[in-house]
Structure 1
Amino acid sequence: MYYELATMTLPFGSAGTAAANVQAFATAPEARGELLACWFTDIGVLNQMIVLRGFADEQDLLAERARTQHSASPFGCGEIFQSLEQHSYQGFPWMKPVRPSAESGISGPVYEIRTYGIKPGGVQPTIDLWQQYVPPREVLSPCVVAMVALDGPLRFTNIWAYPSLDARSKARADAVAQGIWPPKGGPAHLTTAMVSTIALPTAVSPLK
């Protein structure tokens, strides 16, 4: 599966309108792909809306990127957002495609979006280690997706769902205590370019 993470920086008080416009844009008859999530940041860089869309193949991703870039109002928010970034990803090949909460049973409402830089030669070892270590880690909390960036610096983004911030803290502490996370040897393939964001679903988000 291919994915796009789009991040819009919004002015105060515009999140509700922006979310409705995102939904309309992403579900228009001419749109490619599928709206999977529409979050608003709660911890990290604030006043940002993060939109996750999924695509069956790279051609659909590129076609939708072109539609967005040529639109007079990308995501229906061209006159609202202060900035827009779009980044393309390919999911780790062994992971199931991201599905809405109604189909997958995965829900937050607390989502952690983590991005790690990868050292040269570290992509395949990271994919392999995560394939080994994610199943026991998911006993504590579900991994929504792990995906490698197709543009920009070499990096991958992983998204986790938690029922609360307290549950996040407990799951992470338990994973370390049990020795099941982080993957043994995994940090050796990563750079120190790491960022984490906590975001909550908007009313239109299929991932709740």
Structure 2
Amino acid sequence: MIYEFRTYDLVPGSVPEVLKRFGDAYEKRKEFSELAAMFYTEIGPLNQIIHIWPYEDVKQRQEIRAEAIKAGIWPPNIAEFIKHQHIEIMMPWSFSPELTPGNHGPFYEMRSYSCFPGSIPGTQERWLSSLKERQELSPLGAVFSVDIGSALKIVHLWPYQDLKQRHEVRTEAAEKGIWPPKGGDGGLPFFSQENKILLPAPFSPMQ
């Protein structure tokens, strides 16, 4: 299983119209394959949408996209609003939950870390040893490594009912020493971090 993350930076003020046009076109596009999720940024880099597409592999991705384009129903008519597109192919970690439809949020925190070379296997081990306790406080949406795109990058998605719950959970996890996982003997495995708070589009399978 792979996940394609498509991040579009949009013209300011265009998000509502983009979501409308995207949602209208998606009614036909989902006959070929369905979204895992569709988000827009609430806090962080504004005027941004992120759509996440699951595929069995790169071959299936290429075939489905070619079929949808040939059918004339994709891409949606939003080119006039797009300033920049960034595409990454992600591989879920072996212990990652799957991105499943349902009411998990509606607030989602996406955290992206750029890691030092060779540090990801050790990071996975430390996550695995700490994740059970962390998920007793709130569930992990999913965690990935970038396979095609920004090298040595991990991305994790956390759903929350609201920002108050996020603050309370993260505070409790830190006070109890549950999370974040310890950095190991070599210190922290990453050299940069960023996060953004996302909300789901009305037609997103994940709400």
> TM-score category by the smaller chain?
0.7 to 0.9
Distance 2:74 2:30 in 1: 16
- The structure number with the bigger radius of gyration is 2
**1:173 positional shift:** 0.5
Letter in 2 for 1:160: W
Alignment gaps of 5+ in structure 2: none
Alignment deviations for residues 157-197 of structure 1 (CA, whole Å, 9 cap, x no partner):
00000111111111001001111101123683522221100
Classify the secondary structure of the residue corresponding to 1:205. coil
What does residue range 16-165 of structure 1 map to in structure 2 within 5 Å?
A: 16-23=16-23, 24-25=25-26, 28=29, 31=32, 33-63=33-63, 74-101=75-102, 107-150=104-147, 151-165=149-163
Q: Is the 8 A contact 1:26 1:35 kept in 2?
A: no
Q: Output the aligned Cα RMSD.
A: 2.7
Letter in 1 for 2:100: R
Q: Is the 8 A contact 2:111 2:195 kept in 1?
A: yes
Distance 2:128 2:179 in 1: 12
Classify the secondary structure of the residue corresponding to 1:18. helix
Q: Is the 8 A contact 2:116 2:191 kept in 1?
A: no
Q: Provide the TM-score with structure 1 as the length reference.
A: 0.85
Relative to 1, partners in 2 of residues 1:20 and 1:95: Cα closer, same or farther, differing over 3 Å?
Answer: same
**1:69 positional shift:** 9.7
**1:72 positional shift:** 11
**1:54 positional shift:** 1.4
Q: Is the 8 A contact 2:120 2:189 kept in 1?
A: no
Distance 2:48 2:108 in 1: 14
Relative to 1, partners in 2 of residues 1:55 and 1:20: Cα closer, same or farther, differing over 3 Å?
Answer: farther
Relative to 1, partners in 2 of residues 1:75 and 1:195: Cα closer, same or farther, differing over 3 Å?
Answer: farther
Distance 2:82 2:118 in 1: 37
Alignment deviations for residues 14-60 of structure 1 (CA, whole Å, 9 cap, x no partner):
323322433434852674x4301111111111011111111222322
Distance 2:174 2:109 in 1: 17
Q: Is the 8 A contact 1:112 1:196 kept in 2?
A: yes
**1:132 positional shift:** 2.0
Alignment match, 2:201: 202
Letter in 2 for 1:199: L
Distance 2:29 2:125 in 1: 37
Relative to 1, partners in 2 of residues 1:29 and 1:7: Cα closer, same or farther, differing over 3 Å?
Answer: closer
Classify the secondary structure of the residue corresponding to 1:143. coil
Alignment gaps of 5+ in structure 1: none
Letter in 2 for 1:121: G
